[in-house]
Amino acid sequence: MKIGRSISTAIAAHAAAVDPHGDRAYTDTEVAAIPVPLTIAETEVFSGTSPTEWTDLDLSGVVGSNLALVLLKIGSTGNPAATAVRKDGETDEFWSDDSSVAAVAYGAAFAKIFVGIHAVVIVATSAAGIIEWKTDAAVATTIDIIAYIK
């Protein structure tokens, strides 16, 4: 770049070049092949009575039959309804039945949900697109996928 040449002149000259670095076609092709990392789904995946034992919830109809990191919105008519989620087949516990323990979130996989208030949790799916979940009481519950990453 010459001294005194404006930056906008340099940008215009670069943009006008057919392939200034010899790699534009390669880059454009590669960019077109890159999957979008975050999918905004806003899709209801459950509406009914919540389970009180760890129960599979198949999300593959939205995220596909693959590993995914999923952001869920959970609503309940219970007051309060403790809800936990985990990857299908996981044995780590995100739940405490100890009544002396205050209701607190154990990471981002556990939430206390009050009537009219929704909670947002994050969970990984199994390779089949499945998670497990449970609540402290069988109450009317809805679960929506807000977004996911494959």
Note the pLDDT of residue 107: 59
Quick one: 27 and 50 in the same domain? Answer: no
Per-residue pLDDT, averaged over 40-59, amounts to 94
Cα–Cα distance for residue pair 67/129, rounded to 1 Å: 6
Q: What is the mean pLDDT of the chain?
A: 79
pTM over cut 0.75: no
Return the H-helix or E-strand segment holding 24. Answer: helix 24-33
For residue 40, pLDDT over 80 is answered with: yes
Quick one: 43 and 84 in the same domain? Answer: yes
Return the H-helix or E-strand segment holding 14. Answer: helix 7-16
Q: What's the structural domain count of the chain?
A: 2
Q: Which domain holds residue 134?
A: 39-149
Quick one: 132 and 58 in the same domain? Answer: yes
Say if CB 67 and CB 126 are below 8 A apart. Answer: yes
